[in-house]
């Protein structure tokens, strides 16, 4: 596979969860958790997915790994359309795509030994490693920095960081091509967070893994990602390589997010320019029309309330959905993103 051919390609992906009410459980609406998003993930890279609570990050991860059934759009993995792949064809897919979850406590069965947990994928998939399952598991434990002699221990005997390592070991068993990590470090202490971030990076280099890392922590995402997508209320509002996204963010929401992060530098606190958003994120049950960010955006004009801004490429690989982007290069005249001067 060449550099430019995506390992994963998501086109106009949609997930609307129906909302039912009353005795007859009639559908009265839908949570537009993921609403027409498109992106690619290239082999060997890390795509970061950021955004505030409820914007649809986890739903995106679950759609891509086909733990959820999409209500629209298309998912292409290694050139194959897997949008509605049935149980039979999902089985091999589960080997190639793995998910790491946020909570190292609840994602491990407390009654199973570490050996059983990490070895489970071999058994489920009916894979018989040459060296035997036990040996293979011990090798993986070693790879993630756990003591192979702890094969027979139970999850409660491990610390939070070690449990997350067990979770990571489990996903590595079948040498997946794509790992979707949903908040892999947010439940961990800072010092442990750094250990796990380094581990993920080492494993990527050693095993040539491709990651989608979902997180709400913008600093962690910058550290770990090659490219970053920002979500707001079920939409991708901006996607770019990390350097561009963090140094010249174009979407007002991205700008607001970045300026809201507290900086651990007391001398900088006085002279930082801050963008302060008012209010909270609106409900995805009734998202604002057109640009979903217009209820909180300080740049909003009439057009933002009536015309949805398309996700457009305004600079090399830098796509943004906004009528009045910040840090924008010369906007090509007559493009759909050019607003009438207000």
Partner 1 sequence: MSQQSFLDVKDLRIHFPTDDGLVKSVDGLTFGLERGKTLGIVGESGSGKSVTSLGILGLHKGGRARISGEIWLDGEELVSASPEHVRGLRGKKMAMIFQDPLSAMHPYYTVGDQIIEAYRIHHDVSKSVAKKHAIDMLGRVGIPEPTRRVDSYPHEFSGGMRQRAMIAMALSCDPELLIADEPTTALDVTVQAQILDLMRDLQREFNSALIIITHDLGVVAELSDDILVMYAGKCIEYGTTEDIFYRPEHPYTWGLLGSMPRLDREPTERLLPIKGSPPSLINVPPGCAFHPRCPYAELTGGKAGTEVPPLAETEGGHLVRCHLDKAERRRLWENEIKPVLETQ
Ligand X SMILES: Nc1ncnc2c1ncn2[C@@H]1O[C@H](COP(=O)(O)OP(=O)(O)OP(=O)(O)O)[C@@H](O)[C@H]1O
Nearer to partner 1, 13 or 231 (CB): 231
212 binds partner 1 (CB under 8 A): no
Give the DSSP per-residue string, 231-269. Answer: EETTEEEEEEEHHHHHHS--SHHHHHHHHHSPPS-GGGT
Q: How many CB atoms lie within 10 A of CB 259?
A: 15
- The DSSP secondary-structure symbol of 136 reads H
- 230 to 269: interface string for ligand SF4, x by CB under 6 A: ----------------------x-----------------
> Is 61 in contact with 23 (CB distance < 8 Å)?
no
Helix (H, G, I), strand (E, B) or coil at 193: helix
229 binds partner 1 (CB under 8 A): no
User: Residues 38 to 77: which contact ligand X by CB under 6 A?
Assistant: 51, 53-59
User: Residues 112 to 131: which contact Mg ion by CB under 5 A?
Assistant: none
Task: Determine the Cα–Cα distance for residues 129 and 174; give it in Å rounded to an integer.
Answer: 9
309 binds ligand SF4 (CB under 6 A): yes
> Is 320 in contact with 229 (CB distance < 8 Å)?
no
Among partner 1, ligand SF4, ligand X, none, the one that 17 touches (CB under a kind-dependent 5 to 8 A) is ligand X
Q: Which of 177, 244, 294, 319 binds ligand SF4 (CB under 6 A)?
A: 294
Starting at the earlier edge strand, list the strands of the sheet with 80-81.
26-42, 6-21, 72-77, 80-81
17 binds ligand X (CB under 6 A): yes
156 binds partner 1 (CB under 8 A): no
Task: Determine the Cα–Cα distance for residues 243 and 250; give it in Å rounded to an integer.
Answer: 12
Nearer to ligand SF4, 121 or 252 (CB): 252
CB of 286 to ligand X, least distance (A): 11
CB of 342 to ligand SF4, least distance (A): 10
281 binds ligand X (CB under 6 A): no
Nearer to ligand X, 101 or 324 (CB): 101
Q: Among 296, 188, 315, which residue's Cα sits nearest to residue 243?
A: 315
58 binds Mg ion (CB under 5 A): yes
Residue ranges that bind Mg ion, judged by CB under 5 A? 58
């Amino acid at each position: 596979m060449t550099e430019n051919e995506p390992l994963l390609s998501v086109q106009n992906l949609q997930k609307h969860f129906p909302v039912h009410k009353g005795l007859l459980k009639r559908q009265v609406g839908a949570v537009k958790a993921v609403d027409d998003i498109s992106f690619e993930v290239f082999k060997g890279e890390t795509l970061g997915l950021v955004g505030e609570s409820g914007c649809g990050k986890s739903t995106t991860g679950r759609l891509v790994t086909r733990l959820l059934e999409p209500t629209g759009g298309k998912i292409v993995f290694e050139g194959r359309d897997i949008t509605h792949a049935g149980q039979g064809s999902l089985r091999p897919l589960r080997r190639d795509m793995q998910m790491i979850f946020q909570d190292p406590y609840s994602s491990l069965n407390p009654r199973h030994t570490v050996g059983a947990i990490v070895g489970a994928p071999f058994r489920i998939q009916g894979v018989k490693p040459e060296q035997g399952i036990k040996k293979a598991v011990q090798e993986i434990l070693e790879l993630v920095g756990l003591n192979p002699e702890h094969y027979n221990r139970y999850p409660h005997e491990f610390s939070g960081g070690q449990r997350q390592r067990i979770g990571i070991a489990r996903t590595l068993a079948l040498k997946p091509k794509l790992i979707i990590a949903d908040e892999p470090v947010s439940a961990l202490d800072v010092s442990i967070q750094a250990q796990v971030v380094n581990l993920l990076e080492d494993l990527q280099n050693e095993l040539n893994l491709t990651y989608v890392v979902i997180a709400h922590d913008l600093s962690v995402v910058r550290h770990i990602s090659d490219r970053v997508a920002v979500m707001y209320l079920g939409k991708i509002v901006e996607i770019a390589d990390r350097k561009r996204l963090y140094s010249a963010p174009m979407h007002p929401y991205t700008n607001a997010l970045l300026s809201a992060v507290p900086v651990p530098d007391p001398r900088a606190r006085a002279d930082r320019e801050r963008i302060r958003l008012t209010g909270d994120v609106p409900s995805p049950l009734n998202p604002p029309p057109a640009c979903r960010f217009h209820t909180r955006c300080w740049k909003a004009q009439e057009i933002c309330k009536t015309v949805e801004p398309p996700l457009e490429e305004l600079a090399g690989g830098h796509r943004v959905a906004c009528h009045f982007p910040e840090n924008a290069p010369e906007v090509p005249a007559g493009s759909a993103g050019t607003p009438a001067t207000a």
